[in-house]
Structure 1
Amino acid sequence: MPIPSDIDRRTLLGGVVAVTAATTISASSDAQSATLSLKGKSILITGSSSGFGYDGALHYARAGAKVIASMRNLPRAEADTLKAAAAKEKLDISIIEIDVTSDEQVTKGVAEAERLAGGALDVLINNAGVGYAGPIELQDMEATKLIFDTNVYGPHRMARAVLPAMRKAKRGLIFNISSQLGRVIVPSAGHYSPTKFALEAMSEAMAYELVPHNIEVCVIQPGGYPTKVWVNRNVLAKELKGRITEDQAAAYPALVSRMGLEDGSGRSADPMDVPRAIGEIIAMPAGTRPLRKAVHPGPKPQEAINKVSAETQVAMLGNTPFGPWIKAVHD
């Protein structure tokens, strides 16, 4: 099928602009929960047991959204805590079970989320993720398969599950939570950067391909935050450390000695930065949302790479049949 040469993102998505243009976006992050309006939005979040997912579920619901918060291994204490918080504030939060590494749970969970939403979801937030530590050579196949299954295949499963209804509705927004390390690389983080680089590429390809369907994709690139991700990372890193050989450990003594001991201490940035940024982007008029958003009060080294990447994409493909899609995403 030939690619139409007259695709314009703002024209394609213009029908939604009038509906969302009046949405209030606070100039102050501290006051955003009181001024942001996400009324009428249905939002499905993965990895809602802690961190950005847990905080986000409450934040979006306080702004009026219908939130479907998913997590794995139900029942669990975190689900009870979130349920109690929602009940106390009379927030519209439903909790469902989704392990993003399970085809069956993704299919069943998304179907339930769409039932609760009364149709196609407005927003999917792919937040679930895991991390490891240690040199790449020491990442055995057990660790490698788990991190790719969670950080790459998980968001892919979720997108494939929500997109049929979104395409039929001709609207939708998918957030993929990447990282600064999805653009820059720090040694001894295992396959964390490789998975986030893959997620970045997959997200950008989807953003182009979904332009004709009025569906947007946004990559969130957080810096380091003091969330439970460090606790979970250490558990996995210690398990991996227990499986490596003496010869492997001797090859990287300094790096192996740190595996399972990095607790994220010294990081004081407010994890609410990420839900606030996502809330602001949801509230933006369709067709004006960014492909990528770096989030952190400190340095954002990935922004320079984001800029060069966008310029390169437009220069390479802007005058090809794909040009309208590329320009629609990067304009």
Structure 2
Amino acid sequence: MSPAHTGCSVQKTVLITGCSSGIGRATATLFNDAGWTVYATARNPADIETLGEAGCELATLDVTDPDDIDRVVDRILDAEGAIDALVNNAGYGQFGPVEDVTTAAVHDQFDVNVYGPHRLIRAVLPAMRRERDGTIINVSSTAGRVTFPGGGIYSGSKFALEAMSDALRNEVREFGIDVVVVQPGPVSTKFASRVASEVDRENDGRIEPSGAYDYLYDLFEDTQLVGGDGPGSVSPERVAEDILNVASATKPPARVQPGTLARATVLARHLPDTLRDGLYDALGKFVR
């Protein structure tokens, strides 16, 4: 862990989205234990009551609601004077063949995973520029570097978040603001069970099955392929450690991958397209 925050006379403040479970909850807990003033947020305040009992400040925040965002950011600035770190963690995975996912579902995916972070970034940047200090941490995924059949919509949202982060990092550097992308691979959270619901062919209209991709639906029934407790998965606490480290570092890296599997996965983007396509084709033939 970076010692940058240890011993600081001024307590730092962090705003974290999506704290109801998993990475967000673990991150709020770790920052709180490290002595930060933590504003833990979620759509449903009942989901984060225990974080409040542990000492975090709580706020209801839906990243798709601009009024929510303005209210929470204004509250923090009024109380603390500054926001030292923003952790854009809230997100979910819309999986399914590109043809079968409805356009409305694609919009919902980008509204949370891309427009949500963008709304938060715009809200906090004026204060960070004024202070000439701050760190924006966007929680992406290895799927933000390497996509796969059935993951095009989710990966598309994460690719967009990464592109936005790369541009932003160079736009705000002169103001003393850092932008870091965290790219977990499989994490032992409820994400895997949510994936199963997103590719349920009997769901609430997000999927309109064409009948052409049954093998992919069968493949996604083993949700360890995109999350869960499969080989190489890491705990939410392991991801939270990296988030705290980059928030505390004087010169954080542009990207960090928690765990060996995550680091190995992002390297796959360097493989020739024909080789990656051949691997996907072989996997498809195996499960058919």
Q: How many aligned positions are there?
A: 264
- In the TM superposition, what is the alpha-carbon distance from 1:260 to its structure 2 partner? 6.3
1:298 CA drift (Å): 2.6
* 2:58 equivalent to 1:95: yes
Aligned to 1:104: 67
Which secondary structure does the structure 1 equivalent of 2:179 belong to? Answer: strand
Counterpart check, 1:70 vs 2:70: no
Residue identity in the other structure for 2:244: G
List per-residue Cα deviations over 1:120-175 (Å, max 9, x = no partner): 20000000001022111111022101110000000000000000111111111000
Aligned equivalents of 1:82, 1:211: Cα separation in 2: 33
Paired residues of 1:70 and 1:96 also in contact (CA < 8 A):
yes
**Post-superposition CA distance 1:250-300 (Å, at most 9, x none):** 211111345566264433522211111111222222xx2111111123352
TM-score by length of structure 1 reads 0.73
Q: Deviations over 1:168-215 (max 9, x none)?
A: 111110000011110011211241110100000000100000011111
When normalised by structure 2's length, the TM-score is 0.83
The 8 Å contact of residues 152 and 198 in structure 1, kept in 2 or not, is answered as yes
Cα distance, 1:302 vs. partner? Answer: 5.1
Instruction: Tell me the residue number matched to 1:23.
Output: 4
Is the counterpart of residue 270 in structure 1 residue 247 in structure 2? Answer: no
Q: Following TM superposition, by how much is the alpha carbon of 1:236 offset from its aligned partner in structure 2, in angstroms?
A: 3.1
2:235 equivalent to 1:254: no
In 1, the alpha carbon distance for the partners of 2:182 and 2:171 equals: 19
Q: Aligned-pair RMSD on alpha carbons?
A: 2.5
Identical amino acids, percent of aligned pairs: 36
For residue 80 of structure 1, what is the amino acid of its counterpart? Answer: E
Per-residue displacement from partner, 1:66-86 (whole Å, max 9, x unpaired)? 000011133x2x2223223x0
- Aligned equivalent of 1:59: 30
* Matches of 1:62 and 1:201, distance apart in 2: 32
Quote the residue 1:224 is aligned against. 186
Kindly state the Cα deviation for residue 110 of structure 1 after the two structures are TM-superposed: 1.3
Residue 275 of structure 2 is aligned to residue 294 of structure 1: no
Separation in 1, partners of 2:13, 2:61: 17
Q: Tell me which amino acid in the other structure corresponds to 1:62.
A: D
142, 145, 152: which is aligned to 1:183? 145
1: CA distance, partners of 2:198 / 2:40: 24
Residue in 2 that maps onto 1:208? 170
For structure 2, the 5+ residue unaligned runs are 272-288
Structure (1 or 2) with the larger CA radius of gyration: 1
- State how far apart, in whole Å, the 1-side matches of 2:229 and 2:125 are: 40
Q: State the 1:94 CA deviation.
A: 0.4
Distance 1:239 1:163, change over 3 A: farther
Conserved 8 A contact 2:168-2:179:
yes
Matches within 5 A, 1:142-157: 142-157=104-119
Q: Identify the residue that residue 286 of structure 2 maps to in structure 1.
A: none
* 1:235 equivalenced with 2:206 (yes/no): no
Partner SS for 2:236 = coil
Look up the equivalent residue of 2:249 and give its one-letter code: M
